[in-house]
Chains A and B, each alone.
Chain A
């Protein structure tokens, strides 16, 4: 389940559980649906409740960076748990400047 919150032009998406290839497509559809409906200035992905993630999670972040960019918004990725820091570091997404 994914909870979202929209306030002051910021759409926050609270991700949870395991993010793999199987779940990524559903999460992507849900986020992009909200983004296109609400057209936020900032999309914030909160990873605090994510217990597992493989490179599908990295693809999800890179894809949202593009999709929110298309409507002129920016992406913010927050609360990456310690156990996911290894894959996040490896992916090089820090160079996008989205990690807060």
Chain B
């Protein structure tokens, strides 16, 4: 597997950037010729991860969100979404469907479930008070 393209984004944890972030990643992935469904899946998963960084990671203030995205020659897209926020105490619990700590904001608690179902793999690493990083991987099926 070789990296054929790479990009980095750094933006403020403002909710108006959710749309910017998912659209920018989707535009970057176009090189692999994804279907509309594959593109929508990526946009949705990125939107969930960025929203988590804003709503949870930086719930006590604001900070920067980082996205590192790569395309590989075996048609995979790898997207890492990082924040330097409060971190997750219990990753296993956070990934449980319907678990939410933001009930008052009407968060459905489905963020990780959506990421898992819309990509091929989701890896989460987090340190309390240091931040969280979520790595999404999805294969774009080549057109025959």
* Closest residue on chain B to residue A66 by CB atoms: B106
Q: Are B15 and A55 in contact (CB under 8 A)?
A: no
Q: Are A56 and B40 in contact (CB under 8 A)?
A: no
Q: Are B37 and A54 in contact (CB under 8 A)?
A: no
Contacts of A48 in B (CB 8 A): none
Asked if A15 is an interface residue, CB under 8 A from chain B, the answer is no
Q: A21-B15, A22-B15 are in contact. Are A87 and B106 (CB under 8 A)?
A: no
* Closest residue on chain B to residue A58 by CB atoms: B108
Chain A interface helix/strand/loop/mixed: helix
Q: A55-B48, A56-B51, A59-B106 are in contact. Are A21 and B18 (CB under 8 A)?
A: yes
Q: Are B43 and A52 in contact (CB under 8 A)?
A: yes
Asked if A28 is an interface residue, CB under 8 A from chain B, the answer is yes
Asked if A46 is an interface residue, CB under 8 A from chain B, the answer is no
Q: Are B110 and A90 in contact (CB under 8 A)?
A: yes
Contacts of A77 in B (CB 8 A): none
Contacts of B44 in A (CB 8 A): 52-54, 87
Asked if A63 is an interface residue, CB under 8 A from chain B, the answer is yes
Q: Are B16 and A55 in contact (CB under 8 A)?
A: no
A90 to B107, CA, bound (A): 15
Q: Are A91 and B47 in contact (CB under 8 A)?
A: no
Q: A90-B110, A90-B113 are in contact. Are A83 and B51 (CB under 8 A)?
A: no
A68 to B51, CA, bound (A): 26
Q: Are A62 and B40 in contact (CB under 8 A)?
A: no
A54 to B43, CA, bound (A): 9
A25 to B105, CA, bound (A): 8
Q: A54-B44, A55-B114, A90-B117 are in contact. Are A21 and B108 (CB under 8 A)?
A: no
**Which residues on B are within 8 Å of A, measured CB to CB?**
15-16, 18-19, 36-37, 40-41, 43-44, 47-48, 51, 54-55, 105-108, 110-111, 113-114, 117-118
**Which residues on A are within 8 Å of B, measured CB to CB?**
18, 20-22, 24-25, 28, 52-56, 58-60, 62-63, 83, 86-87, 90-91
Task: Provide 29 A-B residue pairs closer than 8 Å at the C-beta atoms, listed in order of the A residue.
Answer: A20-B15, A20-B18, A20-B47, A21-B15, A21-B18, A21-B47, A21-B55, A22-B15, A22-B18, A52-B40, A52-B43, A52-B44, A54-B51, A55-B51, A55-B114, A56-B106, A56-B107, A59-B106, A62-B108, A63-B106, A83-B36, A83-B37, A86-B41, A86-B118, A87-B114, A90-B110, A90-B113, A90-B117, A91-B110
